[in-house]
Amino acid sequence: MLAACVAAMLAPGLARAATKTEAQAALAAARKAEAAAGAVRNRWLPAEAALKQAAQALAAGQYDGSVAVSERARALANRSIQQAKEQDGLWQNEVIR
């Protein structure tokens, strides 16, 4: 039942190819997240690599692939921001006293 619902929700998304505009928007969102990670001094190398890959796919007209990699880059950037925020409170626990 649940599986059927999820499949029904996903089906249209899978069937339709991403447009150039969508790929550009996904990349812009990922770049924005990575810039925010930079602002908390915690960029991750895999996020940078994914951004590069997404930009290349976009330039090559592979919009579906580009959207997927941009989303991965954004997820990585968000995790790095989360890590920095957590560490703001947790680092004191590692201090030698």
Partner 1 sequence: MHLLIPSARLRQVALLAGALGAMALARMPARAATTPNPEADRLAFRAYFKQRFPAVKNGDWGNGPYAVNAGMRQQWEAIMQFPPYDFALGDGEKEFHRRFADGKTYADCFPDKGIGIRQNYPYFDTKTGKVITLGIAINRCRVANGEKPLNYQKGLMASIEAYMAHTSRGKPFDIKIPNDPRALAAYEDGRKFFYSRRGQLNFSCASCHVQAAGQRLRGDILAPALGILAAFPIYRSDWGSMGTIQRRFTSCNVQVRSVPFKPQDKTYRDLEYFLSYMSNGVPITGPGARP
Q: Which is nearer to partner 1, 70 or 80 (CB)?
A: 80
User: Side chain identity at 58, as an amino acid letter?
Assistant: L
Instruction: Provide the minimum distance between the beta carbon of 47 and partner 1 in the complex, in angstroms, as a whole number.
Output: 8
Select from 17-25, 52-60, 61-69, 84-92 the region that touches partner 1 (CB under 8 A): 84-92
Residues in region 60-79 near partner 1 by CB under 8 A: 76, 79
Tell me, by CB under 8 A, how many residues bind partner 1: 25
Output the six-digit token pair for 9. Answer: 């929700």
User: Side chain identity at 92, as an amino acid letter?
Assistant: Q
User: Side chain identity at 42, as an amino acid letter?
Assistant: N
Output the six-digit token pair for 71. Answer: 């989303």
